[in-house]
Amino acid sequence: MCFALSVASRGVVAAYRPVLEPLGLTHPQYLVMLALWQHAPLSGRELSRLLRLDPGTLSPLLKRLEAQGLLTRGRRADDERALSIELTPAGAGLRREAESIPGRMMARLGLTHDELVVLHRTMTKLIVAADAEGD
């Protein structure tokens, strides 16, 4: 299982590269944008938790996306200690361009919708089990 998960993960991330390149995004940046498209605005802590990335890994991703004009980082009005991450109009607009990515990836990977649903359910189950082990 370990080998298959590792190889599949690297292969899927590599398959995303040519699909994301026209958007100017790397795979980790795409994951940040997906989280923000679904939940913005988010605090740094919330985004870190959602993506399961430590702040030291997340911070450079946010810095690059901010430099691209896709998001802003600022202090929350209700808590000056907390970071607020929001999409810019350009970042929100990029969502329209990215809407075709899931379908394109299904085609690239040769998966049907039903297979993808089963895979997602299984992967979610693995994530929950791994999280429970880490507690």
CATH number at residue 51: 1.10.10.10
Q: Are residues 54 and 81 in the same domain?
A: yes
pLDDT at 135: 67
User: Where do we find the tokens 């691209």?
Assistant: 68
pTM over 0.75: yes
Segment 17-33 shows an average pLDDT of 97
Q: Are residues 90 and 112 in the same domain?
A: no
- Other beta carbons within 10 angstroms of residue 92's beta carbon come to 16
Q: Compute the chain's Rg from CA coordinates.
A: 16
Domain count, the chain: 2
pLDDT tens readout for residues 90-118: 999 999 999 999 999 999 999 999 999 99
Mean pLDDT, the chain, whole residue set: 94
Alpha-carbon distances of 98 from 33, 34, 69, rounded to whole Å: 10, 9, 16
